[in-house]
Amino acid sequence: MHIVIMGCGRVGSMLARQLGDAGHSVAVIDRDAEAFRRLGPEFRGTQVLGMGFDRDTLIKARITEAHAFAAVSSGDNSNIIAARVAREQFGVEIVVARIYDQKRAAVYERLGIPTVATVPWTADRLLREIIPEGLISEWRDPSGKVAIAAIPYHRDWIGRPVHRLERAVSVHVASIIRFGEALLPDDSSVIQDGDIIYAAVLTADLVTLPDRAGIRPGEETA
């Protein structure tokens, strides 16, 4: 799949290299030519010099072919404008924006544009948004039969108990990353917006995990 990234700072360059290493087509946009040095000599994607919310710049980055767009520059305004252009003018299916101001981030989350913050957590969350299949397992046991992977759950599960999602998807939740901090869920835990949920799952079931996790609450018994 083709992915366009606006911003070649620490997060953007890390994300671009990881996606490129995974075999995806990647275009990186930045207004500073020196920023592309962070990509390293092994990067085989496209480097586009310009503003990430400029239509001509986006077209050079093949935004019309993009499966996903990630706006991860250092400016909140630039990121959200670029994210809206990608979604509203070019119809990109998956759009993610990095927002530093938490209050503004909450507003854009309500508008349906996922927002993220902090360098390591941002790179992880962006990968989960861009590759919702979640087949990048974090850990596998020596036999290869059990894996820990992020669950690409439907947004309607937000506000619902974690244990209900476990039953619906047939997994065991191992941990939740919330605002960059890890926590162990208990019987009273409720899914919050932005949670990254990691669960133990049979490796053989990783392929069907997206379909099972993509159901809405109430559909699990249908």
Domain chopping of the chain, boundaries: 2-130, 139-213
Tell me the per-residue pLDDT of 48-79, one tens digit each, with 9 for 90 and over.
999 999 999 999 999 999 999 999 998 888 99
pTM flag (> 0.75): no
Enter the tokens of residue 108: 């854009």
CATH number of this structure's domain 2-130, picked from the four choices 3.40.50.300, 3.40.190.10, 3.40.50.720, 3.40.50.10860: 3.40.50.720
Domain 139-213: top CATH class: alpha beta
Tell me the per-residue pLDDT of 104-130, one tens digit each, with 9 for 90 and over.
666 666 666 766 655 545 565 666 567
d(CA 202, CA 171): 8
